[in-house]
Amino acid sequence: MLKFNEHKSRAPRLNYMFLSRWVKIVFVICIVFLNTTNGFSQYGNEDELKKQAAKYFEDEEYANAYKAYSQLVSNYPKDPNYNYRLGVCMLYTESDKKKCYSYLEFANKNIKDSEKEARFYLAKAYHSNFRFDEAIKLYTQYKEIGSSSMIKKLKVDREIQSCKNGKRLLSDLNELVVLEKKQLAEGDYFRSYNLSDIGGKLLVKPEDFITANDKKKKNKSIVYLPKSNDKLFYSSYGTGDNKDIFIVRKLPNGDWSKPENLGLPVNTEFDEDYPFLHPNGKVLYFASQGHNSMGGYDIFKSELDEATGKWKAPVNMDFPINTPNDDILFVTDSLEKTAYFSSTRQSPNGKIDVYKINTERRPPEFIYIKGSMLKKQADQRQDSKITIKDINAGSDIGTFQADVNGNYLMKIPNGGKFIFTFETIGFTTQSEGVDVPVNNSLVPYRQLASYNEQKLVLQNLFTTNKDDENAYLQYLEIIEQKSKMDVNASDFTSSNLVANNNNTATNNNAATNNNSTNNSANNNGTNTNNTNNNETNNTNTNTNSNLSNTQLEKIAFADAEELKLEAIKLKSDASDAFTFVENQKFEASQKNKEALLAIENANTEQNATKKEALQTKANELQEEAKKLEKKITKKL
């Protein structure tokens, strides 16, 4: 009886479960059906979706167009035009400017079936991410296929010049102390600037200074109204096609004078905006798409020549304040020690980042060494493990791993005496003392490592060539990292600032800091962050023929440390000859690379005089490379 009742009581429950399962299935079918329509109900049908997407795109309402083209690409993933337009929308709305790559690259592979502007916007995407040479190449290709009207509208020649400016501006990098970083709405980001030290107000440009042309072009700018209130700088289209900076002065009757265009050298044929006159009346900061901007708005500084009453040629405020994206509204305190500015470099649509910085350029707390383990034998392993110890502080700096091609990137304290220990399969573990000079730039030092008759040879190229406009290619990862301008004030304290060639950094967190940087090094080597990791290969242990690490450390800590380090550096004649050859090889290789780049630039240069100069430079570099190669042959 009990079993019978149990059987009867389970039947309704099973029916309920059966019905519930069907309800779920029907629900899923409905969801799938709704997804396949891709929101067409919002537009009526697919044709309406396409029509509305195109209108949003033409009106440059990229946020709305983004949603529409996302649906269309979902339906037609192989359509190059939809990929192109979605890529453009992502370029102007995403905080990560690399997300658009795959869509724009797909459109460019199918350029015959895509709008020709796909090539321009792929160049723009590369440009925004500091890939200047690739951008120049694509901009130049677009000039060959684009219409003359679109080439003019998109200011392609200006974009090419901006890339060339960027290469020069990034030939030397400095460190800035970032005190604050906030992401705010575009409508009121400027309200976060603290002007209590200098007085005055930042406000949306008053109606009195808005021309009919400004209204037509929907120009909404910000002006700084000084505490003295006797003169005011602002930007306006006036009656032209580009924004210029104007000045008005307060008249005795309280009215403003007629606007006066500042003219040259401040204003250019491109847009100028966001002027800020320092209360001392002698320094004008403003944003410009002209001059030597590396793209979008860059921030410039112009000083007043008190003898003539004219403004001097504006100076670019350099990276990392300026990037290929829009960097605007630079406002400093009374002593010009602290400043605010804003940037779109990492902001999504409708947002903008506001930074508070110390304006003083500092020697970097940490520097980079970009190294290569050279291959001297066909079967030689190049994936060395490098461990670094600080001699003065007696602390471990970190452990770094070269990749299979021998490339590695190391982040260490700026300046000091270190022990570099190399572990390479097939060779005994060997160490060498290295005196690293202070680097006042973020441009990495170079190091070449090799083995000569089983003996470790280090060639340290601890100089930076600030005149090499292609040097930035060696440290793009560092540029990308530093462009984010994350808050770093805690890294700069009176106890750990580097003031001379002695390493004063005793920060025991160095190895931890190395981890975040070197994980992004990709093929340049990664930080293993493990100073106790031993190779299992027996050939990787020290033998009696070499000083052990412990012995070397004791020597290094002795009173005669300087002399003993110099003694460690002394090489045999054969080793010296080998070092000379490797140095010459490296220089010859660099000369050939520079020559190829000069030839490429000459091919894209439109000005005949500049083209000839570039070609001459290329020929000279090739001749220098040949001379170096002859020296190598004689030495061998």
pLDDT attached to residue 635: 53
pLDDT attached to residue 157: 97
248 and 184 both lie in a single domain: yes
**Mean pLDDT in each 10-residue stretch from start to end of the chain (636 residues)?**
39 48 51 48 80 95 94 95 97 94 95 93 97 96 96 96 94 87 94 92 91 88 89 93 94 92 96 95 96 97 94 96 97 93 94 95 86 93 96 92 95 94 96 92 90 94 73 79 91 49 35 38 41 38 42 46 46 45 59 72 76 80 75 59
pLDDT attached to residue 442: 80
The values of phi and psi at residue 84, to 5°, are: -60, -50
pLDDT attached to residue 525: 43
d(CA 66, CA 85): 8
d(CA 188, CA 204): 9
Q: What is the CATH number of the domain that holds 100?
A: 1.25.40.10
Question: Residue 33: which domain range?
Answer: 1-37
State which of 309, 330, 362 marks the end of a domain. 362
pLDDT attached to residue 500: 34
Q: What is the CATH number of the domain that holds 373?
A: 2.60.40.10
**Pair type for strands 416-423 and 385-390:** antiparallel
208 and 314 both lie in a single domain: yes
Q: Is the peptide bond before 320 cis (omega within 30 degrees of 0)?
A: yes
349 and 382 both lie in a single domain: no
300 and 286 both lie in a single domain: yes
3-state secondary structure of 395: strand
pLDDT attached to residue 596: 75
399 and 328 both lie in a single domain: no
pLDDT attached to residue 495: 40
98 and 185 both lie in a single domain: no
Token pair 């090889």 is found at 585
d(CA 446, CA 140): 33
622 and 590 both lie in a single domain: yes
State which of 169, 192, 209 marks the end of a domain. 169
331 and 255 both lie in a single domain: yes
C-alpha dihedral (376, 382, 387, 391), degrees to nearest 10 = 20
pLDDT attached to residue 175: 85
400 and 543 both lie in a single domain: yes
3-state SS record for 486-532 = CCCHHHCCCCCCCCCCCCCCCCCCHHHHHHHHHCCCHHHCEECCCCC
16 and 111 both lie in a single domain: no
Total count of residues recorded for the chain? 636
Q: Give the strand order in the sheet containing 175-185.
A: 175-185, 351-362, 338-343, 327-332
d(CA 442, CA 365): 10
552 and 435 both lie in a single domain: yes
d(CA 337, CA 101): 39
State which of 570, 602, 626 marks the end of a domain. 570
Half-sphere exposure (Cβ direction) of 509: Cα atoms closer than 13 Å: 6
> What total of structural domains would you count in the chain?
5
The values of phi and psi at residue 552, to 5°, are: -65, -40
pLDDT attached to residue 580: 53
pLDDT attached to residue 173: 80
Token pair 């060498």 is found at 432
Residue 63: enclosing H or E segment and its boundaries? helix 62-75
pLDDT attached to residue 621: 76
332 and 212 both lie in a single domain: yes
